[in-house]
């Protein structure tokens, strides 16, 4: 068998070792940017995808549907109280179906001045399975709805289930987005190449994320809280050498459960009280990168 010297590649970015890049800092000379990515999701009843507390049953799967719906009815409001108490900004990853189902949830974060980020129409579907023309229409619909409801165009996008086609970064950039949260390959923003212009990839966590940590690896609420504290303490130390981004990905139907909320509050209070990090939202991270005077990768 003849061996090919090169494996198939995506062509979006080249290799760059983090310890060989240009240095810079976040506002006020801070070295670690921390953001919360709160996923506000709505699901179709009796069909489609969705995270499961127990093995999925025949549709309609009432147990798992209603468990997810707890997040919009109860969990999100408990989280909101905590964010207000700790004075934490939030990046809200919003299914546009939330506007139809529970618009008061979106309004509560709008009234805080939080960033609303595109997250498809529903997490019952994957966009990466769509033909390019249909994916383009989905992105255009969500962008139009977000702009109408929020009175400002969204800057960032996270695909439902991190589902990308080979064209997704191109379609996002062409629809006016300045950054994507889909890739978890770095601890710094990375410039993606698209068929027209650049697009920032802002680090989005798959380790510090309650779905893979708690639902896939069965991490307890206490362990997840400890993961947040340990990640923060380690990255604060690492950031003395390079500026870094730490994201925390949450879903109200998971993180908003009482036994997990107590440990999450403890972990976020640790970060807020420490005071060394830039507590921010993804859009301001992307804007800061755009304002830097020099290239940031070797």
pLDDT digits (tens, 9 = 90+) for 121-131: 999 999 999 99
In a domain, 4, yes or no: no
Q: What is the pLDDT of residue 298?
A: 39
Q: What is the pLDDT of residue 54?
A: 87
In a domain, 117, yes or no: yes
> Per the structure, how many domains does the chain have?
1
Give the span between the Cα atoms of 38 and 91, in whole angstroms.
Answer: 6
Mean pLDDT over the full length of the chain: 96
User: What percentage of residues in the chain have a pLDDT greater than 90?
Assistant: 93
Q: What is the pLDDT of residue 63?
A: 95
Domain ranges, residue 249: 22-291
Q: What is the pLDDT of residue 5?
A: 83
In a domain, 287, yes or no: yes
pLDDT tens across 57-83, in order? 899 999 999 999 999 999 999 999 999
Q: What is the pLDDT of residue 1?
A: 59
Q: What is the pLDDT of residue 295?
A: 58
pLDDT tens across 1-12, in order? 577 788 999 999
In a domain, 8, yes or no: no
Q: What is the pLDDT of residue 294?
A: 61
In a domain, 214, yes or no: yes
- The CATH number given to whatever domain includes residue 106 is 3.20.20.370
In a domain, 129, yes or no: yes
Is pLDDT at 19 greater than 80 in this prediction?
yes
Is pLDDT at 138 greater than 80 in this prediction?
yes
Q: What is the pLDDT of residue 6?
A: 87
Q: What is the pLDDT of residue 59?
A: 93
In a domain, 201, yes or no: yes
Q: What is the pTM of this model?
A: 0.95
In a domain, 11, yes or no: no
The residue to which tokens 């989005």 are assigned: 204
Mean pLDDT of the region 188-196: 96
Is pLDDT at 41 greater than 70 in this prediction?
yes
Q: What is the pLDDT of residue 201?
A: 98
Is pLDDT at 296 greater than 60 in this prediction?
no
Q: What is the pLDDT of residue 56?
A: 87
Cβ-contact 37, 204 below 8 angstroms = yes
């Amino acid at each position: 068998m003849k061996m090919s010297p090169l494996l198939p590649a995506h062509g979006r970015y080249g290799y760059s070792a983090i310890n060989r890049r240009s240095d810079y800092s976040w506002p006020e000379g801070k070295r670690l940017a921390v953001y919360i990515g709160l996923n506000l999701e709505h699901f179709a009843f009796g069909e489609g995808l969705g995270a499961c507390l127990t093995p999925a049953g025949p549709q309609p799967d009432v147990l798992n549907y209603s468990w997810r719906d707890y997040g919009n009815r109860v969990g999100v409001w408990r989280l909101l109280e905590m964010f207000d108490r700790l004075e934490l900004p939030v990046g809200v990853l919003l299914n546009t179906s939330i506007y139809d189902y529970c618009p008061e949830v979106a309004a509560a974060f709008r009234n805080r001045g939080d960033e609303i980020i595109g997250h498809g129409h529903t997490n019952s579907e994957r966009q990466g399975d769509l033909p390019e023309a249909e994916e383009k229409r989905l992105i255009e619909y969500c962008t139009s709805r977000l702009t109408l409801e929020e009175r400002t165009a969204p800057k960032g996008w996270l695909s439902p289930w991190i589902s990308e086609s080979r064209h997704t970064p191109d379609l996002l950039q062409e629809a006016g987005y300045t950054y994507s949260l889909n890739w978890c390959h770095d601890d710094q923003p990375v410039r993606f190449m698209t068929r027209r212009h650049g697009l920032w990839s802002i680090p989005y966590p798959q380790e510090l994320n309650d779905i893979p940590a708690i639902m896939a690896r069965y991490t307890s609420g206490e362990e997840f809280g400890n993961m947040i504290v340990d990640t923060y303490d380690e990255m604060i130390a690492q950031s003395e050498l390079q500026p870094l981004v730490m994201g925390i990905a949450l879903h109200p139907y998971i993180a908003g459960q009482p036994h997990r909320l107590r440990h999450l509050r403890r972990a976020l209070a640790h970060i807020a009280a420490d005071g060394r990090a830039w507590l921010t939202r993804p859009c301001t991270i992307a804007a800061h990168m755009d304002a830097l005077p020099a290239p940031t990768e070797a």
